[in-house]
Amino acid sequence: MQALILAGGLGTRLRAVLSDKPKPMATIGGKPFIEYQIAWLKKHEVTDLVLCVGYRHEQIRDYFADGERWGIKIRYSVEEELQGTAGALKLAQRYVTGPFWVLNGDSYFDIDPGKLAQFHQQMKAERGGLGTLALTDKQDARDYGAVTLSAKNEILRFEEKSAPVGAAKTINAGIYILEPEILNAIPAAQKVSLERETFPFVLQQGHVLFGYRSSGYFIDIGTPQGYLEFQQHIAERHA
Beta strands 218-220 and 27-28 are unpaired
Burial class (CB in 10 A: 0-12, 13-18, 19+), 139: exposed
Considering Cα of 159, then 160, then 163, then 169, what sign does the dihedral take?
Answer: positive
| Partners of 154 in the β-ladder | 210
Catalytic residue list contains 161: yes
* Listed residue (165, 163, 168, 161) closest to 222, CA to CA: 161
Report residue 45 CA to chain centroid gap: 18
Q: Which of 31, 124, 161, 169 is catalytic?
A: 161
Q: What is the spatial distance between Cα 137 and Cα 207, in angstroms, rounded to a whole number? A: 24
Give the helix ranges, DSSP H, for 19-142. 33-43, 57-64, 84-91, 113-127
User: Cα(166)–Cα(138) distance, rounded to whole angstroms?
Assistant: 9
For residues 178 and 129, give the distance between their C-alpha atoms in angstroms, rounded to a whole number: 9
Question: 189-225: b or e for each residue (b if 16 or more CB lie within 10 Å)?
Answer: eeebebbebbbeebbeeebbbbbbebeeebbbbbeee
Catalytic residues: 161
